[in-house]
Amino acid sequence: MAKYLVTSALPYANGPLHFGHIAGVYLPADIFTRHKKLQGHQIIHISGSDEHGVAIMQNAQKKKKSYQEYVNQWHKTHKSLFDDYEIQFEFFGQTSAPYHKEETLLWFESLYRKGLIEKKAEDQLQCQSCHNYLPDRFVEGTCYVCDYEEARGDECPKCGEWIDAVKLKNPVCKFCGSKDIEVKSVDQWYLMLTKFSKEYREWFETRKPEWRKTVSSAIDSLTKEGMVDRAITRDLDWGIDVPLEEAKGKKFYVWFDAPIGYVSNTKEYCQTSGEDYLADWWQNDDVEIVNFIGKDNVIFHGIIFPMMSLASGRANAVTHLPANQYVNLLGKQFSKSKGWYVDADKAIKEFGPDALRYALTTLIPENNDSSFTWDGFEAKINNELANNIGNFVNRGMTFFYKNWKEEGIDATHFQSFFKTEAFLDLQTRVKEINATLDRIEIRRGLEQVMSLGQVANTYFSDHEPWAVIKVDKDKCAEIIAHSAIYALTLGCLFSTYLPNLSSKILEYFPDINDDLLRDIYTGEFKLGREYFNQTIVLTKKPKGLVKKVEADRIKELNEVLQSL
């Protein structure tokens, strides 16, 4: 059986996460991991905070905190948000930790020894007033493409141009505000992608056919004509020291060490699991490596990190790269700096994990951008989750409990289900859902679960147990028994998407164990049939499963958005 190593993009320890991050990366990674675990595969989900880089330095300075203190605080905040969303990791580490530095140096040494890291002189801006070098966001000026006046040294937020800082017009030092800035030639170390482009392309051709079109065509156009060498060092005082005498005082550029975080965090995880992080995971050819990322991360995960992995021999390169498009807010991109976002933390505290995981899964932007609206949220929870699943399970189980509370329903009424067409249809659907999730089509998989919920609802309504019970209680017992099989199956299927709702459904049934759960989840129904070959007495009185969202509250939340 294949093993899976799932990673989700390291969240940057520099600000709150929004729905776009959760729906685009962490939720699909969590659902896929739960799915493979339920199928019986060995799988680990690894991530952690990305804690270096200029943006963190600037904000820590603004907040008058030490860099370490600042990133620790965001690390804690993000981890607790993931807990609230029931997003689980085998390990969630930090790139400022000593174990990460150790692993990063091993990668550097290997690439350096192989001649894939070289020194080059680079033109850089230096402030003549405070004497700092001004890489990336440490300088702002007028964009030479669109004339926007607050373009940063790495990117123009207006036109999106990848900025060459020395070409900025009217540059201003972000440390001290001085305009007395000169161009100096500075040595930096480069990752020599040009030297490895042939090997890279050969590898990419083996992956291309299986990857999403949006991902493979982006990579294709970026690498077909050859690659560009990239600087991996910076003159900063926060980050990992470059271990060369002549590079004294330089740190690794954040993008170089961040993806190595997947490997270093796995190593740290293996300290407790007792495995070897390389032999058992990163260098194991039986392991499929799955990187969940947003589309803005394709260059690093689809080109640079695979190149670093292949060239250094430290790790196998990524197998699947499910890069999602963006989730917007009312059609416009989320923006923390402009205040255009919904607080993911407040939302989960108000609506709980079932409602948010459900709504956000329906928005996973697997092929196109999607858009969050509060009206859409209300419709999804009330019309879909509550009316379809909540209503069916609640009606069926309440009817069961009320009428067969003490004596239960006997085996023959359950067993008759397994001789019907309806059972074959159920089994086919469950297997299809598994296949859809195997293809990492997480959103589509949920649609298929909901469609099975619809089948169950229709079965219940069409058979009118409330009328049948008045004339033939035995016949009614059969209808309810068949409904209970649907309910338990839905409970098993939801354990990936909505673990909280799932466990509430499973709790109605006596003696559910992991083997039975797996058997039903995968559509085998071998143990499932055996389980229902007994009298079933429900363990407790069913309670409302899905709380509806109040229209008045949605109106308020809409007003908040309109005021932004």
Binding region for Zn ion (CB under 5 A):
127, 129-130, 143, 145-146, 148, 156, 158-159, 161, 173, 175-176, 178
Closest distance between Zn ion and the C-beta of residue 236, in Å?
14
- Name residues whose C-beta falls within 8 Å of residue 375's C-beta, 6 or more positions apart in sequence: 554, 558
DSSP 50: B
Closest distance between Zn ion and the C-beta of residue 225, in Å?
24
Looking at beta carbons only, is 180 or 472 nearer to Zn ion?
A: 180
- Name residues whose C-beta falls within 8 Å of residue 50's C-beta, 6 or more positions apart in sequence: 10, 11, 12, 13, 95, 254, 258, 261
Closest distance between Zn ion and the C-beta of residue 331, in Å?
23
Query: 551: number of CA atoms within 13 Å, CB side?
Result: 1
Closest distance between Zn ion and the C-beta of residue 181, in Å?
8
Angle at 432 between CA 430 and CA 435, to 5 degrees: 115
Looking at beta carbons only, is 60 or 480 nearer to Zn ion?
A: 60
Closest distance between Zn ion and the C-beta of residue 141, in Å?
11
Q: Which residue has the tokens 């801006």?
A: 125
Closest distance between Zn ion and the C-beta of residue 125, in Å?
10
Q: What is the DSSP string of 366-417?
A: SSS-EEE-HHHHHHIIIIIIIIIIIHHHHHHHHHHHHHSTTT-B-HHHHHGG
Closest distance between Zn ion and the C-beta of residue 155, in Å?
9
Task: Point out which residues pair with 50 in neighbouring strands.
Answer: 12
Looking at beta carbons only, is 163 or 433 nearer to Zn ion?
A: 163
Q: What is the DSSP string of 178-194?
A: ---EEEEEEEEEEE-GG
Looking at beta carbons only, is 127 or 433 nearer to Zn ion?
A: 127
Looking at beta carbons only, is 133 or 334 nearer to Zn ion?
A: 133
Distance CA 385, CA 108 (A): 50
Looking at beta carbons only, is 147 or 205 nearer to Zn ion?
A: 147
Taking Cα atoms as reference points, which of 9, 3, 99 lies closest to residue 302? 9
Distance CA 428, CA 557 (A): 41
Looking at beta carbons only, is 68 or 128 nearer to Zn ion?
A: 128
